[in-house]
């Protein structure tokens, strides 16, 4: 079994709902986003390239790619980051992380791993999201977990259920009948930086 996610770029409107859902569900500290919406267009977020009326803009949601051959797992000197044998999810163990940031250096997908440079601070005084999430620790690296706490409850990751355009599809890629396997069938897709040999579990449908 190997969990995977398909993101249909033709359906993504760059609404950032998945990003916000992730932030709320996992009670992410200020300045940290596990799931970011990048803009392939102008020089800043949500801006097109070109000159009116010939403009173009494409969104690219990026979170941890949960690679089959993860560079971060090889790099971590103390096995604080590892791949779960049972479902291929790449986990970050906050209690073991020494905060060397080598996994951030090793990961080709810029900024999907983020570091708590200061004690976690939150925009509001009450904790948000699921009570089952692991508390954030400062001086440690964290990243997308594919919402393992929700998977344990039989739910899908928060970003999947929140996407208003159903641009995100999740499931077991080893099961040909799963939603994600069905979604990629007959579609053209790519993996981010495929040439790096990390074998990501995120399929970008085009």
Partner 1 sequence: MAVVTNTKKTSATNLWTMIFAVFAVLGAVCWVLQLTRGLQMTNLDTNNMWGLYIVGFMIFTGIAAGSLLFSAVPYLFKLEEFKPYTRIASYLGAVASIVAASLFIIVDIGNPERVWLFITSGNWTSPMFWDFIMLSSYMVISIIFTRKLILLNEGKIEEKGVKGIAVVAFVAGILVTVTSFVFSFQVARPLWSTPAQPLSFLIAALVAALAVLMILSHILNKSGYVKMPIGLLAKMGKLTALLLCIELIIVITEILIGLYPGSGEDYAAFIWLVTGKGAVGFWLMMVALVTAIVLLAKQGTLPKVGLLLGGAIIALIAIYLIKSNLLQAQLFNPLITLPGTPVYGETTGPYVPSLLEIGLSLGIVSLGALLLNLGFGKLNLGTTANTRKL
8 vs 142, which CB is nearer to partner 1? 142
Q: Which is nearer to partner 1, 64 or 80 (CB)?
A: 80
Which candidate, 34, 103, 60, places its Cα nearest to that of 204? 60
- The least distance separating partner 1 from the CB of residue 147, rounded to whole angstroms, comes to 18
Least separation, in Å, of the C-beta of 90 and partner 1?
14
Q: How far is the CB of 131 from partner 1 (least distance, A)?
A: 25
Q: Is 96 left (phi over 0), alpha (psi -120 to 50) or beta?
A: alpha
Q: How far is the CB of 197 from partner 1 (least distance, A)?
A: 7
Smaller CB separation from partner 1, 120 or 129: 120
Q: How far is the CB of 55 from partner 1 (least distance, A)?
A: 16
- Count of CB atoms within 10 A of residue 63's CB? 24
Measure the CA–CA gap between 186 and 189, rounded to whole angstroms.
Answer: 9
CA 166 to CA 128: how far, in whole Å?
A: 24
CB 153 within 8 A of CB 147: no
Give yes or no for a contact between 49 and 55, defined as CB atoms under 8 angstroms apart: yes
How far from the centroid of its chain's Cα atoms is residue 56's Cα? 25
Residues of this chain that bind partner 1 (CB under 8 A): 16, 19, 31-33, 36-40, 42-45, 47, 60, 62, 71, 73-80, 96-102, 104-111, 114-119, 138-140, 192-193, 196-198
């Amino acid at each position: 079994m190997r969990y995977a996610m398909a993101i249909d770029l033709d359906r993504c409107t760059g609404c950032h709902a998945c990003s916000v859902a992730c932030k709320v569900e996992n009670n992410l500290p200020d300045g940290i986003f596990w799931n970011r919406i990048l803009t392939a267009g102008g020089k800043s977020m949500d801006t097109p390239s070109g000159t009116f009326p010939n403009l173009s803009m494409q969104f690219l949601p990026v979170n941890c790619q949960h690679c089959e051959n993860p560079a971060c797992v090889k790099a971590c000197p103390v096995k604080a980051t590892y791949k779960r044998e049972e479902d291929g999810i790449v986990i970050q163990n906050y209690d073991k992380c020494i905060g060397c940031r080598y996994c951030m250096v090793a990961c080709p997908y810029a900024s999907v791993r983020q570091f708590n440079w200061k004690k976690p601070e939150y925009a509001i005084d009450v904790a948000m999201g699921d009570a089952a999430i692991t508390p954030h620790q400062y001086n440690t690296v964290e990243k997308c977990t594919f919402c393992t706490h929700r998977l344990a409850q039989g739910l899908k990751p928060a970003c999947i259920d929140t996407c208003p355009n159903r641009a995100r599809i999740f499931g077991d890629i080893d099961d040909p009948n799963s939603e994600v396997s069905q979604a990629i069938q007959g579609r053209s897709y790519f993996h981010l930086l495929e040439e790096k040999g990390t074998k990501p579990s995120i399929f970008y449908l085009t």
